[in-house]
């Protein structure tokens, strides 16, 4: 299940039964443009899926994708889930209309058409009766054909429909003033893409890292954990600073890379040991979630509590922080997390890929599964879960995330539009 809460693609043309929308590059009445929008949102046309895209004031809004099989098996339960996520509490600004696409692998048939229309009917009833959201466009896509079950397209409402290869399906770019996004990558290939774009290991650094791993650490376990959390906090801050600097400056001409000194390599190896040390156990790994989403102070409060180390009883402010610390794991803080730090966490984890071994790599993949679930990208989370279980079949954390997706569906952060990762990414940068 995937949730994209604020894509902001401008639309062109009129919606059936509604006034013309503001002029823009996309005409949602054309099946080719609708397929282009879905493909752009999810990287490609997802397989066996029910996709719903919200529309408001000439722009797309919330996006939902769920697997088609359960949607056909329990159409009203699935429709309620989609309607609540798309237009329910926390969805403001809620859509006024919706575009629906059902995508299957098998060829069209009368039996399939009946089942798909029943699913569409349940969705129409739930969206319209509960939230006054009209389905103004619907498309059935299967076996290389697309058809219009609402009958607005006289050439494509009968089985099997119009051939997709005969349509003009444009390639959508980014919005004006926005940098390109990673949405062109298929979400179900997120783990492969993440691992493939990791930098190559530095052989000299690997040798020194091996030496650093073997060095004795005299500090207590609590002291080591606190020091490592501070090292991670610094790494996230440095990642944010580097990203902000890169966005404000023009790329410098490339010159020959200066070879690092032995002292610099040793410093890098010591830093890597600290960062990788946080990935040795599930206890240590979990602390990185509140560290990224809430900040170092919340992670330290959680560390003290879980270790039973209390210098004095917690005051009310610390107790509030502890509650937020606990709520961060399920995205139930009822406030927007620090998505920039979460993105920085992903970047630092990517830099660690070539040096992570055994439990370090296992917990790295676990964190990436959690990050994608928190973002509302269930397909991407699933790709990391599959990769983790492929390499580490006994991993329990990945199975827990998988269970969370089954029981809770979309993370609450992703369901509340203005708290979501996709909303934060769509914000127009300040002219300053």
DSSP 10-73: B-BSB-TTSPBPPP-S-BTTSHHHHHHHHHHHHSS--SSEEEEEEEETTEEEEEEEEEHHHHHH
DSSP annotation string for 84-124: HHHHSTT-PSPPSEEEEEEEESSPP-HHHHHHHHHHHHHHH
Closest CA to 373 of 247, 300, 289, 253: 289
Read off the DSSP letter of residue 48. Answer: S
**Alpha-carbon distance 68 to 103, whole Å?**
8
Q: Is 315 helix (H, G, I), strand (E, B) or coil?
A: coil
**Alpha-carbon distance 28 to 13, whole Å?**
7
Model confidence pLDDT, tens digit, residues 339-351: 999 999 999 999 9
User: Can you give the pLDDT at residue 5?
Assistant: 55
Model confidence pLDDT, tens digit, residues 136-195: 999 999 999 999 998 866 555 678 899 999 988 877 654 433 344 444 578 889 999 999
Closest CA to 14 of 171, 137, 141: 137
Cβ neighbours of 48 (radius 10 Å): 15
* Residue carrying structure tokens 């650094």: 205
Distance of CA 363 to the CA centre of its chain: 18
Q: How far is CA 256 from each of CA 249, 259, 374, rounded to the nearest angstrom?
A: 20, 9, 40
User: Can you give the pLDDT at residue 174?
Assistant: 46
Low-confidence ranges of the chain (pLDDT < 50): 6-7, 12-25, 174-183, 251-255, 428-432
Q: Is 334 helix (H, G, I), strand (E, B) or coil?
A: coil
Closest CA to 374 of 292, 276, 299: 292
User: Can you give the pLDDT at residue 152?
Assistant: 67
User: Can you give the pLDDT at residue 150?
Assistant: 87
Closest CA to 181 of 377, 399, 316: 377
**Residue 64 host element (H or E):** strand 59-67
Q: What is the pTM of this model?
A: 0.81
Beta bridge partners of 146: 141, 162
User: Can you give the pLDDT at residue 91?
Assistant: 80
Ramachandran bin of 143, using left for φ above 0, alpha for ψ from -120 to 50, beta for the remaining angles: left
Model confidence pLDDT, tens digit, residues 113-138: 999 999 999 999 999 999 999 999 99
**Alpha-carbon distance 427 to 424, whole Å?**
6
* Residue carrying structure tokens 């003009």: 168
């Amino acid at each position: 299940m995937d949730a994209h809460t604020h894509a902001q693609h401008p639309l062109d043309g009129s919606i059936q039964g509604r006034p013309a929308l503001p002029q823009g590059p996309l005409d949602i009445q054309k099946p080719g443009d609708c397929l282009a929008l879905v493909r752009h949102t999810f990287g490609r046309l997802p397989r066996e899926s029910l996709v719903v895209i919200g529309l408001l004031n000439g722009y797309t809004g919330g996006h939902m994708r769920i697997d088609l099989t359960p949607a056909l098996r329990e159409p009203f339960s699935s429709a309620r889930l989609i309607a609540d996520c798309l237009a329910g509490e926390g969805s403001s600004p809620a859509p006024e209309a919706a575009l629906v696409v059902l995508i299957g692998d098998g060829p069209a048939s009368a039996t399939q058409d009946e089942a798909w229309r029943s699913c569409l009917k349940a969705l129409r009833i739930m969206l319209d009766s509960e939230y006054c959201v009209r389905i103004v466009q619907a498309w059935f896509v299967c076996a290389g054909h697309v058809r219009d079950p609402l009958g607005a397209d006289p050439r494509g409402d009968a089985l099997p429909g119009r051939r997709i290869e005969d349509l003009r399906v444009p390639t959508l770019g980014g919005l004006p003033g926005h940098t390109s996004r990673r949405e062109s990558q298929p979400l179900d290939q997120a783990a492969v893409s993440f691992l493939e774009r990791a930098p190559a290991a530095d052989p000299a650094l690997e040798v020194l890292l091996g030496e650093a791993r073997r060095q004795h650490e005299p500090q207590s376990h609590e002291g080591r954990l606190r020091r490592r959390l501070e090292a991670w906090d610094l790494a996230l801050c440095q990642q944010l600073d580097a990203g902000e600097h890169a966005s404000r400056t023009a790329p410098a001409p490339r010159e020959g890379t200066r070879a690092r000194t032995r002292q610099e390599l040793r410093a890098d190896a010591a830093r890597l040991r600290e960062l990788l040390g946080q990935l040795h156990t599930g206890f240590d790994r979990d602390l990185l979630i509140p560290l990224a989403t809430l900040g170092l102070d919340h992670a330290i409060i959680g560390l003290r509590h879980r270790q039973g180390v209390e210098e004095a009883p917690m005051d009310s402010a610390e107790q509030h922080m502890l509650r937020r610390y606990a709520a961060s794991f399920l995205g139930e803080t009822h406030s927007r997390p620090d998505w920039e730090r979460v993105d920085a966490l992903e970047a630092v984890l990517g830099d660690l890929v070539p040096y992570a071994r055994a439990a370090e790599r296992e917990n790295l993949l676990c964190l990436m599964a959690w990050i994608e679930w928190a973002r509302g990208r269930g397909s991407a989370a699933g790709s990391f879960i599959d990769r983790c279980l492929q390499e580490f079949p006994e991993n329990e954390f990945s199975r827990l995330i998988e269970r969370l997706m089954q029981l809770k569906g979309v993370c609450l952060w992703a369901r509340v539009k203005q708290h979501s990762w996709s909303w934060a990414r769509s914000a127009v940068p300040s002219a300053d």
